[in-house]
Amino acid sequence: MKNASKIILVFLSVVLFSCEKTIEFKEKDARPMIVVNAVIVPGNEFRVNISKSRHILEKSIYYEALENAEVSLYENGSFVSELAFFSNKDTTYEYFDYGSKKEHIFENGYYYEPDLEVKEGATYRLEVSHEGFSPVSCETTVPIPVELGNFVGQLEKAPQQYSNNTYEAKMNLEIVDPVDEDNYYRIGISKERGIELYFRKKGGYYYDYSGYGGGYGGGEVDPESVTPTDTIVEEAEFSNYIYSTDPVLSAYRNADIIGTTDDAIGLFSDELFSKEVYNLSFYALTRKKTFFEYGEYFKVSAFVQCLSKELFLYSRSFDQHSMVSDNPFAEPVPVYSNIEGGLGIFGSLVISSKSLYIGDYPVEGKTYIDDETFRELYKF
Amino acid sequence: MRKTVIALLLIIQCFWVYAQNLTISGYVRDKHTGESLINANVYEKESMKGTITNEYGFFSLSLSPGEKTIVFSYVGYTKEELNVNLQNDSSIVVELELMKELHEVKVYGSEASKVKRTQMSMVEIPTTTLAKVPLLLGEPDVLKVIQLLPGVQSGTEGTSGIYVRGGGPDQNLFLLDGVPVYNANHLFGFFSVFNPSAVKTVKLYKGGFPARFGGRLSSVIDIRMKEGNTKEFKGEFSVGLISSRFSLEGPIVKDKTSFIVSGRRTYLDLLARPVMKIVNKNTDGYDYTGGYYFYDLNAKINHIFSDRSRLYFSSYLGLDKAYSVEEGYYVEEYVRYNDRSESGLKWGNITNALRWNYVFGSKLFSNVTLTYSKYNFNVGSESLTVNTRDNEKREDIFDYNSGIEDFAGRIDFDYFPSARHSVKMGIGAIHHTFSPGVNHYNFTDDSDSAAPSDTTFGNKNIAASEIRMYGEDVFDISEKFQMNVGAHFSFFNVQGRNYTSFEPRASLRFLGSEKWSLKASYAQMSQYIHLLTTSTISLPTDLWLPATKNVKPQMSHQVAVGAFYKLPKGFDLSAELFYKDMNNLIEYKEGASFSGVAEGWESKIETGRGWAYGLEVMLEKNIGKTTGWIGYTLSKSERKFENLNFGKAFPAKYDRRHDVSLVLTHRFSDKIDVGATWVYGTGNAVTLGQQTYAAGSTGFSRWGVSEIQYYGGRNNYRMPAYHRLDVGVNFHKQKKHGIRTWSLGVYNAYSRQNPFYLFWGHNSKSGYNEQGKYYETSETALKQLSLFPLIPSVSYTFKF
């Protein structure tokens, strides 16, 4: 279908001799609205961004905070406080043709409540008013963290469509889902690896191991040429996409005209769970062989965010909205908002996490240093 | 099921009582061609008891014994009166003579009056109109003329897609000689597949569906092909700007066996090929060619065994193909490699129908039909590299196929128990095979034994079986009231799941006088197939999919009331009100579009309901030198899906509040006639951003978008209104061997830039500011893409 899409696009562009012109926009209702953006997380400061929407033809390259708003916060139905406004300066850049850009410094800020500790299971309500705008209100109930069970995995050579040195980290994570309620989740990972100092000196994950024929990230090496040390350098991988054919994790995967995006794969719900404990199956790619024999290891930290329903709907629709914004063949997707009378999102989440080591860690006799220390010691 | 059978038996038993009269039956045909005349009037002059001929020109009229004058009439033909002394059941073949060809339009509709017939929401389009109405690139097109009728929206600019009474593009049953045609479009919908040279009659049903039709919610377009001249050889060819067509018909055995063959092909690819060769020759050692064409081929042969028995075989083959070929060589390390790659897409329909008419006695006409139809869409690419030194090949083939294949059989009966009753009943079965997208990849490399790969992946074929049966009776309750009552029953088996549907149908006519009537109708319809389509244009990638165990069949209920008035000087005025409710409609999920459906299509759709209501007014004139119609539709069509637009109702894509069409043809003389159409429609509904606002955090790191467009609702904005004027003129001249016609036309005569697609773009601004510094900037602006400015056309036709 990817080929079909391309052929059709090329064909249409040739066959349809179209002409383009600017036409008048006859808006029906373009009055600016109050925009509330806040995702509250237990352990974090209670912070709310408030701005205003603007007419689509209004020229501005940033959205400054809406000052002098009255922002009332309620917890479980009881008034807590009026949020204070914290003003700060913000910077953005306007880009022109030929690479030139212009810096814009503008007044920005946010509303906050420094003394409030966000509680799991509590319901928070905001009421916002400002002269010249219709008042808005919104509410979110902070979820309870989900319990995570076993997290296991292994590295396997990736199929041939990837480069020769690509490996799949295949993982399974148990999630204990409360059966009597609807729950919404997002999964994400971060990857780290421990690299034998000898190899790290030759490049590390993002650099070629010159001279060993492995290309990007290193491949097979001649054991005779390796001089192992007792030091392992810990390095993060910055590409943290996950892939899955698990029906639960694939349920909200989207498709666009060119192919399939993986951005939304992290979102899932318990809609397809048939039992309390569900074993999520997914994998990540890494483009370096792990030499376990030299004490190297591969580490994955998985986190599962338990999202409030409104945050889930917002995140999902925002993904879709962004994805199809330039696709003439797809229907535009409106972004969900739970701000009554206004726009934006007031949602909440809590995070549970678990880590997995593939390979032995720690290994007796090995010294572990982070990448920053490595750079200082070895002047990289 | 049991109820249906009992009801049918009761109806038959009831009619047996009337079987005391004598019956005159037979066929009405064209005197010069032998073509059966459909819907010809047959009535007894004194009592005015009458009937009309069926789709095969057969009639049966029960009358009391004695001297009778039977009148046979048909639009455009000279009326015949036959005096008979009816003492026994008798059978006759009546041949009517066509009036001089160019006068044909004069009497269209005067007899088979809209006022008298019970059927409402139905329009017959005379094939003569097809040639006179000016259309895009001068190509006569059945569906484009249908688009000009009230209650029918045309969809996107220039395309043949039709949206009837707020329905979707998949809810139209295109029947070519009774065989369903799934993709009725060529060239992304700009032309329909029905070659006008082969078309004999076209009927559009928008509502009040008789029980014999089923399987679609919104319309039936019943197209009958010509049978072939049984008297003499006749032909026609036409050369136009982008295509040529021909038609040849004649007797194989005079008055017994005849045939018709017609074809059409576009030739832009052939014209462009030499130019492309010159342009691309030796640019990098490679030759490039490419192009697009479509063709249609219709053939029909029939044989008359006797007055009771006749056999027909008809076939249609159509194909669209877009392709590109790249051929050349390269040299690497002193080895020459020959290189060839080809890619393209093609899609097309095949339909075949074998039917046998047999008349039992004088009251029962039967028709047995066996059909095969197939729609297939294919995208493919193939590359071959040959090492000329070692003769090693590297071949890479990719194919994507989707489509639908049907085998069907049915038997239909027309039973005429008395002059007051006309019964139709039948039963049929269809076996469908749906291919919702299968990919095939094959790779071989002689130099690398590990390389071969041959895989097939995608959706599995889905087999489904369908059984349909129906019974209907058009009967005179009294002189004023006539009714068509019936029921359609269907059964659908797919993936181990059975669906059934019992669909009552009824139409009632009150004849106030010869000049006016009131009508009402109700129809319940079901549809076991869905078309998963993109929202913007008609593409061959649109997938026909069955109802499955997870996706339910579409259902609808439609009621309509109407008033019909015959005005002086040949004007007919009609007005109809309708309301239609539709359930289990499907749409892509938000964010999904066509390329994602290769696998798991059921997970990418939403189901919901829709409703439409409106008023249609049509003023026609079918007599005289000036003919045509003015149609006006006031309507509203909405959809509601739980997971689209946050569960709120929204306007359907082609919801069009006002729709006006004006069609005029005028015959100055036998040598010149002109045609003009003007259409006006409220702009289509589109989803367009009204405001923007800052995107909030999702609680997860992300790249890119920091701004959100606020739409205010799905399909919240109206494109500018659509209007267009087309004009054309035909110059006819009698030549020694036939009539030649030069047709000149202009599509979009005042070059209106009609909206095809709206989007938010930017207008660049640059200049020197007040400080004398050069600046460049851009502003957001609403952009409109338009297709087809003023397009002239010319064609030459010769009929012999």
Nearest Cβ partner of B343 from A2, A7, A314?
A7
B 780-799: CB under 8 A from A: 780-787, 789
- For position B266, what pLDDT does the model report? 87
Q: Which of residues 125-164 of B touch A (CB under 8 A)?
A: none
Region B704-715 average pLDDT: 81
Instruction: Using pLDDT thresholds of 50, 70 and 90, give the confidence band for residue B103.
Output: very low
Q: What is the pLDDT of residue A9?
A: 52
Average the pLDDT over A39-49 and give the result: 92
Of A127 and B393, the structure prediction assigns the larger pLDDT to: A127
Domains of chain A: 26-141 (2.60.40), 147-310+322-334+349-378 (no CATH)
- Per-residue pLDDT, averaged over A268-272, amounts to 83
Min CA distance, B693 vs chain A (Å)? 5
Q: Give the H/E segment covering residue B292.
A: strand B286-304
pLDDT at A162 over 60: no
Asked if B705's CB is within 8 angstroms of A30's CB, the reply is no
By the 8 A CB rule, do B331 and B337 touch? yes
Q: Is the pLDDT of residue B273 over 50?
A: yes
C-alpha distances (whole Å) from A339 to each of A126, B647, B690 are: 9, 17, 18
- Cβ density class A208-240: b for 16+ within 10 Å, e for less: ebeebebebbbeebeeeebeebebbbbbebeee
Arithmetic mean of pLDDT, A328-353: 89
Burial call B638-671: b when 16+ CB within 10 Å, e when fewer: bbebeebbbeeebbbbbbbbebbbbbbbbbeeee
In B747-776, the residues whose Cβ lies within 8 Å of chain A are 753, 755-761, 763, 776
Interface probe for B, chosen from A17, A250, A331 (most Cβ of B below 10 Å), is: A331
- pLDDT in the model for residue B199: 87
Mean pLDDT for all residues in chain B: 84
**How much is the pLDDT for B19?**
46
Q: Which residues pair with B189 in a beta bridge?
A: none
Question: Which DSSP string corresponds to A207-235?
Answer: S--TTTT--TT-----GGG----SEEEEE
- The pLDDT confidence band at residue B41, using thresholds 50, 70 and 90, is confident
- Summarize the confidence of residues B147-161 as an average pLDDT: 78
DSSP B102: G
Percentage of chain A with pLDDT > 70? Answer: 82
Domains of chain B: 170-684+719-799 (2.40.170.20)
pLDDT in tens, B733-764: 999 888 999 989 888 889 888 888 888 888 88
- As a whole number, mean pLDDT of residues B509-522 equals 93
Choice among A362-366, B365-369, B767-771 with the minimum mean pLDDT: B767-771
**In the predicted structure, residue B595 carries a pLDDT above the cut 60:** no
CA distance A344 to A346: 7
Residues 6+ apart with CB under 8 A from B456: B438, B439, B440, B441
Query: Between residues 111 and 130 of chain A, which touch chain B (CB distance below 8 Å)?
Result: none
Say whether pLDDT at B587 is over 90: no
DSSP H or E run through B16: helix B2-16
Q: Searching chain B, which residue's CA lies closest to the CA of residue A344?
A: B696
**pLDDT score at A219:** 52
Q: Across the A/B interface, how many CB contacts are shorter than 8 Å? A: 236
Q: Which pLDDT score is estimated for B9? A: 46
Region B627-631: mean pLDDT is 92
Span A45-70, mean pLDDT? Answer: 90
Chain A residue numbers touching B646 (CB-CB < 8 A):
334, 336
Q: Which pLDDT score is estimated for B39? A: 84
C-alpha closest to that of B190 among B243, B236, B238, B152: B243
What's the average model confidence in pLDDT over A18-41? 86
Predicted confidence (pLDDT) per residue in B635-661, tens digit: 999 999 998 888 899 999 889 999 999
Dump pLDDT digits (tens) for A188-198: 899 999 988 88
**Better-predicted residue by pLDDT, B281 or B624:** B624
Task: Assess A33–B contact: CB distance below 8 Å, yes or no.
Answer: yes
Q: Look at residue B634 in the predicted model and tell me its pLDDT.
A: 96
B188 to chain A: which residues are within 8 Å by CB?
Answer: 12, 15
Question: Which token pair is A330?
Answer: 């797809």
Amino acid A269: pLDDT: 87
Q: Which of residues 338-377 of B touch A (CB under 8 A)?
A: 343-345
Q: Can you tell me the mean pLDDT for B457-478?
A: 88
Question: In this predicted structure, what is the pLDDT of residue B423?
Answer: 94
- H-run or E-run covering A250: helix A247-250
The length of chain A is 380
The residues in B 439-458 lying below 8 A from A, measured between CB atoms, are 439
What is the spatial distance between Cα B781 and Cα A22, in angstroms, rounded to a whole number?
A: 6
State whether residue B292 sits within 8 Å of chain A by CB.
yes
Across B370-374, average pLDDT = 93
Between B732 and A250, name the one with better pLDDT. Answer: B732
Chain B residues whose beta carbon lies within 8 Å of the beta carbon of residue A254: 591-592, 596
Phi, psi angle pair for B208, to nearest 5°? 55, 40
Task: State yes or no: pLDDT of B338 exceeds 70.
Answer: yes
Q: Which residues of B touch A96 (CB under 8 A)?
A: 776-777
CA B71 – CA B576 distance, rounded (Å): 31
Q: Look at residue B17 in the predicted model and tell me its pLDDT.
A: 45
Which of A338-352, B76-90, B164-178: highest mean pLDDT?
A: A338-352
A160 → chain B, closest CA residue: B451
Q: Which stretch of A134-138, B46-50, B276-280 has the lowest confidence by average pLDDT?
A: B276-280
Backbone dihedral region of B189: left (phi > 0), alpha (psi from -120 to 50 degrees) or beta?
Answer: left
pLDDT in tens, A291-331: 898 899 999 999 999 999 999 989 888 888 887 777 766 77
Rg of the Cα atoms in chain A: 25
Is the confidence at residue B593, as pLDDT, over 60?
no
Query: Rounded to whole angstroms, how far apart are CA atoms B191 and B181?
Result: 14
Tens digit of each residue's pLDDT (9 = 90 or more) over B179-199: 888 878 776 667 778 877 788
Stretch among A234-248, A298-312, B275-289 having the lowest mean pLDDT: B275-289
CA nearest to B115, candidates B529, B570, B435, B716 = B570
